[in-house]
Amino acid sequence: MPAKTDHEARRRDVSAAVWKVLAADGFSGLTLRAVAAEMGVSTGLVMHYFPSKHALIVHALEVAEERTRALIPEVADLRTALAAALPVSPEAIEINRVWVSSWDVALAEPELGALEQARYRRWRARLRPLVIEAQTTGDLPTGDPSDLVAGLAAFTHGLVVQALFDPRTFGRKRLLHLLDAHLSALRPPDGRPGTIAPRVQKPRAGASR
Amino acid sequence: MPAKTDHEARRRDVSAAVWKVLAADGFSGLTLRAVAAEMGVSTGLVMHYFPSKHALIVHALEVAEERTRALIPEVADLRTALAAALPVSPEAIEINRVWVSSWDVALAEPELGALEQARYRRWRARLRPLVIEAQTTGDLPTGDPSDLVAGLAAFTHGLVVQALFDPRTFGRKRLLHLLDAHLSALRPPDGRPGTIAPRVQKPRAGASR
DNA sequence: GTACGTACCGAACGTTCGTTATGTACTTTT
DNA sequence: AAAAGTACATAACGAACGTTCGGTACGTAC
């Protein structure tokens, strides 16, 4: 009775087109017609694979989370995990632009806001063991890991936003320097030096900036 | 020849209505009709005081910046300045929601992105003397003040975003605790204690959380 | 009192949006 | 061969959008 084409594969095609539109124009530019035009088909096809625009948005956010996850190496220490989240590569810039752009709709629609809340909690949960590990090696001070995790997530995402709007000031080298300097500053005085981040006291003279 | 009404005052009325719409529905919900409905007038009136929707958006962002500035006491130390930017009051929550919501359009339209970039630079410039002051009192480590400013701005705005999506987890008390703990962790080992932030090592048992 | 400019309404303009309905080409099952 | 179901294109729907425009009410200036 049924099919001819690979439904799952075609759905991924649509998903990819959605992502291209998002990367180019953000959520305010995400329309069914833009997605259809991107892949050279009709809006009817798009709605054949996604029942509504809302489903398209939810799916796009899932893709964004998956891409973010894929950005971080399977086995990583804290510095690596945080550095991967910074907009230090074209791919990372694209993903972060989509994230930041999504916050508008996420704040406007409670359901999407709840999804974003859950995503943040997942991110912090993934960071948590890395923070605890850094605490045991003396790279981070003792104290409530939850506080440290929230603070490091905040630091990272705050840098992301500033970098997206001011890529000249916050280039790749400077972002990584800021991260290292921050981790270094957090290291307790009695911590053994240099396990997860180089000790940075004074920035080198010719550093990016 | 000319006028009867107070043009400037009426313009502020429109501006206030714009703000109410933004606070309620974000930038994705900002339409001329919504603004007009908010103040019970026609869209014609709105366009009488603002030539286009774009002008309305630009003006709204200026208002947001001014409100942010007004939030911070005239004379303040670093902790006070950063604490004021956190969503710890209904007013601050409202402002921050508008800010985060604006990033979607700001990323999509280069002109608005440039304005946002300039605003971030102004914010960091306002933070800078406070950071330098904290360095001289030994509350912050020596090193490039630009790095510390960017890091503290990042930390603060990163907390803002997490708090907006998860106000239960990031209530007023916890936000202030996180800020204090962060400033405390940054204090160099030879720094005299307690000038700009209480020394927080272990969170009190019954703290907000 | 006449002329003129501002303030504003009400309605409509053309566009674009998400969504739906209709029809056709093609495959697979019976 | 007939039946059925998937995979689309095409076209249209109604709603909402930013913007424009004609008209009216009301001042002030002459």
Query: Residue A93 belongs to what H/E stretch?
Result: helix A90-108
For residues B37 and A125, what is the distance between their CA atoms, to the nearest angstrom? 44
Q: What CATH fold (topology level) applies to the domain B1-50?
A: Arc Repressor Mutant, subunit A (1.10.10)
For residues B203 and B209, what is the distance between their CA atoms, to the nearest angstrom? 10
> Is B178 near chain A, with CB under 8 Å?
yes
Q: Mind listing the pLDDT tens digit for each residue in A115-131?
A: 999 999 999 999 999 99
Q: Mind listing the pLDDT tens digit for each residue in A169-189?
A: 999 999 999 999 999 999 998
* The domain made up of B61-209 is a member of CATH 1.10.357.10: yes
pLDDT (mean) for B138-151: 97
Identify the pLDDT of residue A206.
Answer: 43
pLDDT (mean) for B121-136: 97
> Taking Cα atoms as reference points, which of B165, B73, B138 lies closest to residue A154?
B165
Q: Which of B113, B161, B169 sits opposite A103 (nearest CB)?
A: B161
Query: Which class does domain A73-209 fall in?
Result: mainly alpha
Nucleotides of C under 7 A from a protein CB: 4-12, 16-22, 26-30
Q: Mind listing the pLDDT tens digit for each residue in B82-121?
A: 999 999 999 999 999 999 999 999 999 999 999 999 999 9
**CA closest to C19 C1', residue:** A52
Q: Mind listing the pLDDT tens digit for each residue in B41-80?
A: 999 999 999 999 999 999 999 999 999 999 999 888 999 9
pLDDT band at residue A197 using 50, 70 and 90 as cut-offs: low
> Is B141 near chain A, with CB under 8 Å?
yes
For residues B91 and B80, what is the distance between their CA atoms, to the nearest angstrom? 16
Identify the pLDDT of residue B7.
Answer: 83
Q: Mind listing the pLDDT tens digit for each residue in A54-74?
A: 999 999 999 999 999 999 998
Determine the residue of chain A that is closest to B164 in CA distance. Answer: A107
- From residue B126, alpha-carbon distances to A133, A181, B77, B123 in Å are 36, 22, 11, 5
Q: How many angstroms away from the CA of A110 is the closest CA of chain B?
A: 9
Better pLDDT: A87 or A204 = A87
B149 has pLDDT over 50: yes
Instruction: Residue A209: list chain B partners with CB under 8 A.
Output: 146
Protein-to-nucleotide distance from the CA of A43 to the C1' of D11, whole angstroms: 12
Radius of gyration of chain B (CA): 20
Half-sphere CA count of B157, side-chain side, radius 13 A? 22
For residues A1 and A11, what is the distance between their CA atoms, to the nearest angstrom? 21
> Taking Cα atoms as reference points, which of A118, A134, A117 lies closest to residue A82?
A134
- Is the shortest CB-to-strand distance from A1 to strand D under 7 Å? yes
A204 has pLDDT over 50: no
Which residue has 């720094």 as its token pair? B191
B136 has pLDDT over 90: yes
| b/e map A125-147, b = 16+ CB within 10 Å | eebeebbeebbeebbbbebbbbb
What is the number of other CB atoms lying within 10 angstroms of the CB of residue B69? 13
* Domain residue limits, chain B: 1-50, 61-209
